[in-house]
Structure 1
């Protein structure tokens, strides 16, 4: 039987233990979806899975603001990142919020009728370009931590999904049928519309480190800091093994992201290392800039017999967060009188 997973074979969720089992329990309760491939694919590297879930939960699900608005922001991010799996998922989740007409307009590629909805969608799209001025926000200023957290976590998740999953959200792409979208959305509607208590995912985290000031003391801050710490360190392999990305590889990734302007790379992949020379750097850079361009040949050139399923997850996570880091670090300074960001 075919699976949605590329390059890994995650352990079945029913066999999960420890923090992975705790994450699945929260996902089932708060996300309303049993064993979503989006998170199952990360389960081979629990140190990445846990903070990725925490950031999504504390921003999209439990963070301040309207769920429809945050789904629109996440959809805008997914559209600009060319992630059809996530585009389809957010379209179905808009059905779950009860906004059926809006969901179907977007499924047809049309703009929302409501101008506020359209502005939020455009804002989500614009976040791919580092340094884009997000002000004035198309949502209340006090909701910014949740909206920014939502955008940043989906910049990460889009890249993981595009690299490590197929494009089929449901078997035979059934989500492309209006009736299936509607039924699937309604099935999780109760969970989506239920108010989640902020902070429940934070107990799953190790010491996350300092949170950026834009999180404004919300639960989004520790979750973001934990994902940042885990992803930045994901170039390391298991204890005693060589790094998955050596110092030169990491330097190439930093160089590729330093001047990145949010554009998608050309067909010739100018500036991306050759897979025969620096396969790890190539894989991480593609994960950052164009994960949908990762091929079987790219993975085969990098992977070694000693590489477990944890290894491709960590290399992809390193590259994916390099893009998030570039976007987050280029967030414009707030206006005079607002709290400065770190």
Structure 2
């Protein structure tokens, strides 16, 4: 059943992709194909939020590892609770694509008429992992996918399509994955001993999540060093730490421009896109991506820039959630 669904949905995987070229399974290099195969096996279909990374195979593996080990692997929380956190974080980040997918999964996993599970005031480490992952994925999806997985479905048919999607996603989400099986896809992760950074301390009691997060963070940081100038990385980090950014960064033109004015002129297009991804990914205009393209970024470079900004922001959110958890303990 899941194999059939995976094969039938492959074409739709790339239908809503923006700004980067698709990498179809039939022509994918071996490193990409290995990730695709595990995604289809464990998730049930080739999820577009993962497949959008395929032009940069190391980022593809990183994105899949943190999604799989936080959302799919069983623990003290139910898959429905984890999906509810994914949907709630996606709503907070104004990511309509992910809201639609994960609300459908919550409905599909519940009894008929059952309300979504209530979110705890303070998230446990397992749920912090899901939240961090979706703070990352929402930002990538807002840039590289269209607003809805049903965007190509005619409007009169979308109500029925949503009902079908809920049943499909609920069925696929009913399975649980074995911890750690994605880690061999991430070079240097298996057998590696990495210090857990302070902003990932919430994962200390979850070895598979800690390994996935530290391995993925190393890969994405390396991509950021190649794609994001040092001055831009410093600016994004400073703005995340000082918390001075307006709630809607894209609407605060003067604030954004004043921060970007301190960058070398050659870094401002990259800086604008990095800041928008970190703070207001739902408002990234095509022109911001085009300006970075004009500076010479290929698909891998564009993905590396966005991934670095997205994960840097996600880790900051995780740190705040960990602080709340510690205070409540």
TM-score computed with the length of structure 2 as normaliser: 0.81
User: Residues 95 and 181 of structure 1 are in contact (CA less than 8 Å); yes or no, is this contact kept in structure 2?
Assistant: no
| Higher fraction of helix | 2
Q: Output one character per residue of 1:189-225: Cα deviation in whole Å (capped at 9) or x when no partner.
A: 4431123211111121223433344221431111111
Q: In structure 2, what is the equivalent of residue 248 of structure 1?
A: 231
Q: Output one character per residue of 1:57-79: Cα deviation in whole Å (capped at 9) or x when no partner.
A: 11111131201111111111000
- The aligned runs of 1:1-342 (5 Å cut-off) are 3-33=15-45, 35-64=46-75, 65-102=77-114, 112=115, 117-120=117-120, 123=121, 134=122, 137=123, 144-172=124-152, 177-208=158-189, 209-211=194-196, 212-215=200-203, 216-237=205-226, 244-260=227-243, 263-265=247-249, 267-273=251-257, 277=265, 278-304=268-294, 306-330=296-320, 331-332=322-323, 335=326
| 2:182 match: secondary structure | helix
| 2:315 match: secondary structure | helix
**How much has 1:53 moved relative to structure 2?**
0.8
**How much has 1:170 moved relative to structure 2?**
1.9
Q: Sort the Cα spacing of 1:268 and 1:36 in 2 relative to 1 into closer, same or farther, 3 A.
A: same
User: Residues 93 and 282 of structure 2 are in contact (CA less than 8 Å); yes or no, is this contact kept in structure 1?
Assistant: no
Q: Output one character per residue of 1:256-301: Cα deviation in whole Å (capped at 9) or x when no partner.
A: 2122378332613343245994010111110010112111211222
User: Residues 48 and 230 of structure 1 are in contact (CA less than 8 Å); yes or no, is this contact kept in structure 2?
Assistant: yes
Query: More displaced, 70-79 or 322-331?
Result: 322-331
**How much has 1:99 moved relative to structure 2?**
4.1
5+ residue gaps, structure 1:
103-111, 124-133, 138-143, 238-243
In 2, the alpha carbon distance for the partners of 1:188 and 1:53 equals 18
| 2:224 match: secondary structure | coil
User: Residues 57 and 201 of structure 1 are in contact (CA less than 8 Å); yes or no, is this contact kept in structure 2?
Assistant: yes
Number of residues of Structure 1 aligned to a counterpart in Structure 2: 299
In 1, the alpha carbon distance for the partners of 2:310 and 2:295 equals 24
**How much has 1:15 moved relative to structure 2?**
1.7
In 1, the alpha carbon distance for the partners of 2:140 and 2:250 equals 21
User: Residues 66 and 216 of structure 2 are in contact (CA less than 8 Å); yes or no, is this contact kept in structure 1?
Assistant: yes
| 2:294 match: secondary structure | coil
In 2, the alpha carbon distance for the partners of 1:305 and 1:334 equals 42
What is the RMSD of the two structures over their aligned residues, measured on CA atoms?
2.8
User: Residues 292 and 302 of structure 2 are in contact (CA less than 8 Å); yes or no, is this contact kept in structure 1?
Assistant: no
5+ residue gaps, structure 2:
1-10
